[in-house]
A and B are shown apart, each in its own frame.
Chain A
């Protein structure tokens, strides 16, 4: 009799645990994580460098999205993973303007205030086989004109005035990605270790975040 009661209790607690973790399970089941385009999920400015640390610190209150003037902050909803409700930026849709508002409003240490030149959201990478000026298919320079950090972050290569080249000062805000008019998608935000020039081959398909 005692054993049966014990089994009943254990069963009930297990059922409760399953019920408690149901939203997590639902979010995992409803759609698998999208590995296809890592450069469309870049971290917010001032975010903790390690994605796992960020997931631990973020309470999912949505304040960063609510104060964001250009509305670039989006939230992981059905993408799955343990980072449900945590924010990210898709620079191809709408890019960060480095206004610091999300860092000011974040209640936890997920986003910490820092000067805009110390922000590290990644670095812009240009595919020189896809950028029209680089293949001599026209003149553009939109990325250089839009860059909020100016000469430190991106400029034209010497003597080829419309061929853009990213420099070390780039913080990865993604304004250049948003503004880039070319359907060949020559520019993207990647992890700093991947460099500013796209290498063709298997390496470029690696997951960066």
Chain B
């Protein structure tokens, strides 16, 4: 008990920061199509001809954006796009999966496009699969969905919690790339939730109707809810597979401090990706989302800089198992 008061950790609040980032990204994906509509209304110079609901959009967007821009029709082009591919103040960023699958579809290298994925790739190599935990708009919905599943379970609804082989997603990535190659269109975009959410929100808000991707996304939500917890991200997501491969030798890792651990297993329960922090089992799938750090009652999980995980360190020193072992060792020593 003394431990908690002695060492208040800043790290346990990083999870809140992550939720703020996820929320901001998701809200931006909703906001940008409205911004686009607003720019169109400005360009048309016809405020008086707008329908009542269009006037509401116009007024609200004007109120939201006027502190930041002086010429909204052109200045608001600074931030456009989705997490699949977007431009941010003149800097174009693309998902590495977009680059890889566009290459496999066209079988030709287009360097301006490949360079747009440079920053995401470098960030992934250094920090691991952070896109999945910190930015992905699908994660925002999937984690809320997971909370819903927890409530339903508590209320007594039987929901599936099957465990499959995590390597299936590499196969999905491979099949997606081969299909892209054979069919000459980018198939991974059709099954990659962040890409789907980005464009479906845009279709729904700016173009008036959802596309086919919305059906697939609903199916993945149902899969997560009824079949396997966070199943799509864990077992099927092709982008997650690519990010896992890129982040295999990441520098920033979460490590268990065995002296502070009390074997409570909350980290294993809270981990969305089904990893095993209690037995130092992080691996390439860990996306540094810090949920386990936030939940740890003794602050036994910390960040460290290393290219390798430590092997299993044994039971935590604040736990029952370790005390028993010590007692036994003492007895054996005295005998």
A: residues with CB less than 8 A from B are 13, 16-17, 19-24, 26-27, 30, 52-53, 55-63, 65-67, 69-71, 74-75, 77-78, 82-86, 101, 105, 107-109
Contacts and interface: CB of A to CB of B under 8 A. Distances in A.
A77 B209 contact: yes
A57 B211 contact: no
B80 A63 contact: yes
Given A66-B80, A109-B110, A59 B203 contact: no
B211 A62 contact: no
A164 B186 CA distance: 42
B92 A21 contact: no
A68 to B, nearest CB: 8
A55 B176 CA distance: 16
B17 interface: no
Given A20-B172, A107-B116, A59 B209 contact: no
16 contacts: A19-B236, A23-B215, A26-B212, A27-B212, A52-B184, A57-B105, A59-B84, A60-B186, A60-B199, A61-B98, A61-B198, A61-B199, A67-B77, A85-B190, A105-B80, A107-B92
A62 B81 contact: yes
A171 B87 CA distance: 28
Contact of A67 (B80, B183, B190): B80
Given A65-B206, A107-B92, A57 B106 contact: yes
Contacts of A105: 80-81, 87
Contacts of A82: 183-185
B36 A66 contact: yes
A55 B185 contact: yes
Contacts of B185: 55-56, 82-84, 86
B216 A26 contact: yes
B221 interface: no
B92 to A, nearest CB: 5
Nearest to A105: B87
A23 B102 contact: no
Given A23-B213, A78-B212, A59 B187 contact: no
Contact of A30 (B92, B191, B206, B212): B212
B82 interface: yes
Contacts of A74: 207
A24 B182 CA distance: 13
Contacts of A22: 191, 216
Nearest to A13: B171
Nearest to B187: A24
Nearest to A52: B184
A108 B81 CA distance: 14
Contact of A75 (B87, B102, B191, B203): B203
B137 to A, nearest CB: 14
B206 A71 contact: yes
B85 A69 contact: no
A61 B183 contact: no
A16 B175 contact: yes
A63 B179 CA distance: 24
The residue among B175, B183, B211 with the most chain A CB atoms within 10 A of its own CB is B211
Contacts of A70: 40, 43
A66 B186 contact: no
Nearest to B84: A61
A75 B40 CA distance: 18
Nearest to B85: A61
A191 B296 CA distance: 65
Interface string B45-61: 00000000000000000
A172 B240 CA distance: 42
Contact of B40 (A30, A55, A57, A69): A69
Contacts of B80: 63, 66-67, 105
A61 B81 contact: yes
B184 to A, nearest CB: 5
The residue among B32, B171, B190, B236 with the most chain A CB atoms within 10 A of its own CB is B190
Given A66-B32, A66-B33, A58 B186 contact: yes
Contact of B43 (A55, A63, A69): A69
